[in-house]
Amino acid sequence: MVVGLNMHGYIMDKIIEIEKDIKTLRTQGATNVALATLAGIRLGANNNTKSVFQTLYKVAKALAYARPTEPLAQNAVRFIFQKESKDADFYLERCDCYEKMIYDAKAKMGDTGVEVIHDGGIYLTHCHSSTVVSMFVKAWKMGKRFSVIATETRPLYQGRITVKELLDEGLTNVSLIIDDAVASLLTVHKTRIDAIFLGADLLSYNGFVNKIGTLGICLTAKKLKVPVYCTSILLKFDPRPFDYQVIEFRSGKEIWSGAPKGLKFYTPVFDYIPYAENIKIISEKGIIKGSKINSLATLLYSFIKEKTHAEYI
Ligand code: RUB
């Protein structure tokens, strides 16, 4: 929690609001969480505090760890706080630099991604990934004509955000299905789903993390040999061995706000999906297999493996 910081009240309030938006999912998706974290650090940097480093580091950690499986935001903390400075401008520059890294990587990845989107294709997606949406939009603007089927993604219906954004951008063949229809769609109409495009919150050595429901989709796709593209920049790499303990559980009220008293819920919001033959990662380094993630990510972004300056003090 962002509390007890030496800051002007209104700046503190704005940072608390950013944190709340991340926790309540008003700000959702790995990229948006990382950008919100940068926005919070920038606000703090404009606060004229005496203890610049300590204050900004606390803000950054609170926002980047508001949701546990967001290495894109957490790697921002590693990158920005490698060095201690009394100058707030230093941290503003580091924020700009990290944001540019995100956008450059996304642009490169988008160029690669559109190559596997073809005229007449029928593609499935799950939840709301800004990365997947921008890839579809880019391909559409290039003149490719294809269909997208999105799951509604219970309990918070992020699939509705996906279809609205695609329709707003002019895509004409967009459908929404309930999550439970995926297996039947892939089985009964399997020849008609050309590929599945998914986002990722976290990339690990052996698998990736994405919205609950992704594992079921991937297992069905594996059985039916449907290609799965996990679209993710390598800045989402977390070098630690994946630990199921980090999977976030949320309030049962998100499933049923008026539930009968005493009802219990099981509420993980993310799945961990081991890499399989049919899963490839669309990244800023091209289309790669999961086994290449570790070497490529740490070569490209060596700071991911290093301790931040703050971890030493
Ligand atoms: C969002 C989700 C997205 C990834 C990738 O879950 O699982 O697929 O975060 O998003 P939630 P992006 O709604 O719980 O945040 O491609 O925008 O980084």
Quote the pLDDT of residue 9: 81
The whole-angstrom separation of Cα 28 and Cα 161 is 10
Q: Compute the distance from residue 270 Cα to the ligand 1 centre, in Å.
A: 10
Cβ–ligand 1 distance for 199 under 6 Å, the answer yes
CB 170 within 8 A of CB 140: yes
In this prediction the pTM is 0.94
Q: Compute the distance from residue 70 Cα to the ligand 1 centre, in Å.
A: 9
CB 64 within 8 A of CB 24: no
Cβ–ligand 1 distance for 247 under 6 Å, the answer no
Cβ partners under 8 Å of residue 118, min gap 6? 144, 146, 194
- For residue range 280-307, list pLDDT tens digits in order: 999 999 999 999 999 999 999 999 987 6
Quote the pLDDT of residue 308: 65
- For residue range 17-62, list pLDDT tens digits in order: 999 999 999 999 999 999 999 999 999 998 867 788 888 999 999 9
- For residue range 153-186, list pLDDT tens digits in order: 999 999 999 999 999 999 999 999 999 999 999 9
Cβ–ligand 1 distance for 162 under 6 Å, the answer no
Q: CA-CA distances (angstroms) from residue 233 to 59, 171, 285, 288? A: 24, 24, 9, 11
In this prediction, residue 313 has a pLDDT band, given cuts at 50, 70 and 90, of very low
Q: CA-CA distances (angstroms) from residue 8 to 2, 13, 45, 54, 220? A: 13, 9, 12, 16, 52
Quote the pLDDT of residue 305: 85
Q: Which of 85, 77, 66, 78 is nearest to 27 (CA)?
A: 66
Cβ–ligand 1 distance for 129 under 6 Å, the answer yes
Cβ–ligand 1 distance for 177 under 6 Å, the answer no
Cβ–ligand 1 distance for 125 under 6 Å, the answer no
Q: Token pair for residue 122?
A: 């029928």
Q: Compute the distance from residue 200 Cα to the ligand 1 centre, in Å.
A: 6
Q: What's CA 99's distance to the chain center, in Å?
A: 15
Q: What average pLDDT does range 241-248 have in this prediction?
A: 93
CB 229 within 8 A of CB 198: yes
Q: What average pLDDT does range 74-102 have in this prediction?
A: 94
Mutual angle of helices 30-45 and 71-80, in 10-degree steps: 30
Share of the chain residues as helix, strand and coil, in percent rounded to the nearest 5: 50, 15, 35
Q: Compute the distance from residue 203 Cα to the ligand 1 centre, in Å.
A: 12
- Of ligand 1's listed atoms, the one at least distance from the Cα of 199 is 8
Residue type, 283: S
The whole-angstrom separation of Cα 164 and Cα 85 is 43
CATH topology of domain 111-300: Rossmann fold (3.40.50)
Q: Compute the distance from residue 30 Cα to the ligand 1 centre, in Å.
A: 5
The whole-angstrom separation of Cα 40 and Cα 22 is 11
- Of ligand 1's listed atoms, the one at least distance from the Cα of 156 is 13
Cβ–ligand 1 distance for 116 under 6 Å, the answer no
* CATH 3.40.50.10470 segments of the chain: 111-300
Cβ–ligand 1 distance for 210 under 6 Å, the answer yes
Report strand pairing: 195-198 vs 228-231: parallel
Q: Domain 9-107+302-312, what architecture?
A: Up-down Bundle (1.20)
Cβ–ligand 1 distance for 29 under 6 Å, the answer yes
Adjacency order of strands within the sheet including 270-274: 202-203, 207-211, 270-274
Cβ–ligand 1 distance for 27 under 6 Å, the answer no
* CATH 1.20.120.420 segments of the chain: 9-107+302-312
Cβ–ligand 1 distance for 224 under 6 Å, the answer no
The pick from 201, 210, 246, 282 for probing ligand 1's pocket by mutation, whose C-beta has the most ligand atoms within 8 angstroms, reads 201
CB 195 within 8 A of CB 229: yes
Adjacency order of strands within the sheet including 122-125: 174-177, 147-151, 122-125, 195-198, 228-231, 279-283, 286-288
CB 147 within 8 A of CB 134: no
